[in-house]
Chains A and B, each alone.
Chain A
Amino acid sequence: MDRRAAFFLAAALVCAALVPVSEGFAWVAATLSGVYLVLALGSWLDARSHRRF
């Protein structure tokens, strides 16, 4: 797996893990988790397309 995608995925998991303990600010952790998931997916697709061509 692409290292950058793995890093973003790890960040998404960390943010998701903080959702239950972020009383009042859970939406910040959840939104950030979503952003990092999208970045992980984008990064993975980018690396995959580079490998193909």
Chain B
Amino acid sequence: MIDAAVKTAAASDQTEGMSYLSTLPQRLVSVYMPLAVIVVVLLFPFYWMVMTAVKPKDQLLDLDKHNPYYTLAPTFEHIHDLLFKTEYPLWLWNTMFIAVAATILSLVASVFAAYAITRIRYRGAQWVGGAIFLAYLVPPSILFIPLSTVVFQYGLFDTPFALILTYPTILIPFSTWLLMGYFKTIPYELEECALIDGANRWQILTKIILPLAIPGLISASIFCLTLCWNEFIYALTFINSTEKKTVPVAILSAFTDGDQYRWGSLMAGALVGSLPLVVLYAFFVEHYVSAMTGAVKE
């Protein structure tokens, strides 16, 4: 709460700031130019991805006749081929389905866990909170080998459930931690009033806590979706059949046959695979940033 108050105070204070102390040429050299360089470097790979995805095939590998930085004859050939001649739509659907399912499971589990840790305060709640933070620090790269044998034992290998059930181990620690931060800011008094009015825990959770924590829920779910979309090592290890793969894995194995890289399709695939996330992000920038910074700050 205090953090937020200071933040808004700082933000409102900053409208003028001390920037009037420096002149325009000074700011041009010390602020705008370095910023421009960094932004260009950060965005160039995407420009290049788009450019390659819409270039006609004869211009792709011919750098001498055509300036590679632009094309005068953009084509949707690669994207069309991708969507209608490969299983790409299926992969996209797999990715989305797995991401949404894993996110919903994780959010439900996290809401209960975060509520229990911050509000029910059972014996050892503090300790459990710490353990969940530690779980956040266990990376998939050291888990995937034993997990593959576990997934096999449970009979989940090569099914979407192998991913739907393992992704929550990445998502739950993160979203529990984030939601704990949100729940802590909700005043106790509200809950006490409800208890006096005869509400039980379930009613308090669904009628008071959750409606007040909606921004937190949105932040957590968007971040979870992004993490699932981005996940690679589990998807690579636990899924074998082409038609069950997710976009990042499928695209790598499908378009890299031999040495003849199909750069146009590869770039189109990368572009189409990133777009849903970028669109989602564009709508929820603030939630996204608060998820990212919130989880780090708490």
A and B physically associate: no
Chain B residues with a Cβ under 8 A of chain A = none
